[in-house]
């Protein structure tokens, strides 16, 4: 295969949960790893940047034009369940929505993924940022992950080779695209699973509902909560243009209508500065950036 279709000059505002940002050089949605490899090579040959888009729920996209290609993993949606003696192995492509995985596990009585309750986005994005809740993450589930590096090398990583740290990309080797992963789950009681889902869901009670956000903007510093620190610094009163700090949780920034990426970034930096000046703590971004900031 040599040709994979793409959209030139594609706007990214409709493809991220903040609903802002400009356009990229091209956007393509490969259906599988071999199509993705063709696109990675295209970006390398053009000598421009390359970004990987999952569900768009944890990114801030620069305003204006980004001279880079964007590969959306959404069309890589293959999903297989392989029954095993005391559970099953789920093989899922990177674009499978996290919600779909959770629903499937509940349907099949496979426990271990309940921590994904309320987490938006795709499997690829969730693995890339090691998404989790209350100390639970993919570390205990992953058997292997397939990737293609931006210099074109395909590789299968066993879970033990990866660095599973709180909200940190498990790969330090340089930029790559996740294509597929295998997750191991055990058989569980439906009742217990529903109890777990309720418990994880309750943890999200203080978070803004229905607003345009990208989840928590900053990672929690060790032993503390970024939301708590931002709140103590009075950040809930801050806004820049239509970007405002959520009144329900200070680690969320809402686009209340027409905020630009520059507004959101300026507000995030203002909040970060306050916490540094007040507590000497440098908050680290949890969100990922597309383009220059």
Task: Confirm whether 272 is a catalytic residue.
Answer: no
Tokens of 205: 């009670």
Size (the chain), residues? 293
Told to check if 213 binds ligand EPU by CB under 6 A, we report no
Told to check if 228 binds ligand EPU by CB under 6 A, we report yes
Told to check if 29 binds ligand EPU by CB under 6 A, we report no
| Residue ranges of E strands in 139-265 | 142-149, 154-158, 176-187, 239-240, 243-245, 253-255
Distance CA 53, CA 118 (A): 19
Residues of this chain, 41-80, that bind ligand EPU according to CB under 6 A? none
Q: Which of 91, 225, 279, 288 binds ligand EPU (CB under 6 A)?
A: 225
Active-site pick, 20, 24, 216, 233: 216
- Span from 45-53, 105-113, 140-148, 211-219 in contact with ligand EPU (CB under 6 A): 211-219
Q: Which of 165, 203, 276, 278 binds ligand EPU (CB under 6 A)?
A: 203
Task: Confirm whether 167 is a catalytic residue.
Answer: yes
Residues of this chain, 122-161, that bind ligand EPU according to CB under 6 A? 133-134
- How many other C-beta atoms lie within 10 A of the C-beta of residue 197? 18
Told to check if 219 binds ligand EPU by CB under 6 A, we report yes
Place of tokens 């802002």: 20
Q: Which of 106, 193, 216, 233 binds ligand EPU (CB under 6 A)?
A: 216
- Cβ-based nearer residue to ligand EPU, 105 or 246: 246
Closest separation in Å from C-beta 232 to ligand EPU: 7
Task: Confirm whether 271 is a catalytic residue.
Answer: no
Q: Determine which helix (DSSP H) or strand (DSSP E) holds 107, and give its type and residue range.
A: helix 98-108
Told to check if 250 binds ligand EPU by CB under 6 A, we report yes
Name the packing angle between helices 190-202 and 98-108 (round to 10°): 150
Told to check if 274 binds ligand EPU by CB under 6 A, we report no
Told to check if 227 binds ligand EPU by CB under 6 A, we report yes
| Residue ranges of E strands in the chain | 7-8, 23-28, 49-53, 59-61, 65-72, 79-84, 87-93, 110-111, 132-133, 136-137, 142-149, 154-158, 176-187, 239-240, 243-245, 253-255, 288-290
**Which among 203, 208, 285, 287 has a CA at the least distance from the CA of 246?**
208
Active-site pick, 89, 155, 167, 199: 167
**Which among 57, 12, 20, 16 has a CA at the least distance from the CA of 215?**
57
Told to check if 199 binds ligand EPU by CB under 6 A, we report no
How is residue 116 annotated by DSSP?
A: G
Residues of this chain, 154-183, that bind ligand EPU according to CB under 6 A? 167
Classify the C-alpha dihedral 176-178-182-186 as positive or negative: positive
- Span from 76-84, 148-156, 249-257, 270-278 in contact with ligand EPU (CB under 6 A): 249-257
- Cβ-based nearer residue to ligand EPU, 173 or 269: 269
Interacting residues with ligand EPU (CB under 6 A):
133-134, 167, 203-204, 206, 215-216, 219-220, 225-228, 231, 249-251, 286
Catalytic residue IDs: 167, 216, 286
């Amino acid at each position: 295969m040599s040709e994979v279709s793409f959209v030139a000059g594609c706007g990214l505002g409709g493809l991220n949960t903040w609903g802002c940002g400009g356009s990229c050089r091209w956007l393509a949605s490969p259906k599988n790893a071999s199509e993705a490899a063709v696109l990675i090579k295209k970006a390398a040959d053009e000598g421009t940047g390359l970004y990987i888009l999952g569900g768009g729920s944890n990114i801030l996209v620069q305003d204006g034009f980004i001279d880079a290609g964007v590969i959306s993993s959404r069309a890589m949606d293959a999903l297989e369940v392989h029954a095993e003696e005391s559970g099953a192995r789920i093989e899922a492509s990177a674009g499978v929505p996290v919600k779909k995985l959770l629903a499937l596990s509940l349907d099949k009585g496979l426990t271990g993924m309940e921590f994904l309750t309320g987490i938006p986005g795709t499997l690829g994005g969730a693995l890339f940022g090691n998404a989790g809740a209350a100390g639970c993450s993919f570390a205990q589930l992953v058997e292997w992950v397939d990737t293609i590096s931006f210099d074109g090398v395909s590789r299968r990583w066993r879970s033990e080779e990866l660095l599973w740290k709180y909200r940190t990309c498990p790969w330090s080797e340089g930029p790559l695209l996740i294509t597929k992963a295998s997750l191991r789950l055990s058989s569980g009681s439906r009742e217990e699973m529903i109890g777990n889902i309720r418990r994880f869901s309750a943890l999200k009670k203080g978070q803004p509902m229905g607003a345009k956000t990208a989840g928590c903007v900053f990672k929690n510093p060790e032993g503390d909560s970024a939301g708590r620190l931002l709140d103590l610094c009075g950040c809930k009163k801050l806004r820049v243009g239509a970007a405002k700090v959520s009144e329900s949780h200070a680690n969320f920034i809402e686009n209340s209508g027409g905020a630009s990426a520059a507004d959101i970034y300026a507000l995030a930096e203002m909040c970060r500065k306050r916490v540094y000046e007040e507590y000497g703590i440098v908050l680290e971004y949890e969100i990922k950036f597309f383009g220059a900031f």
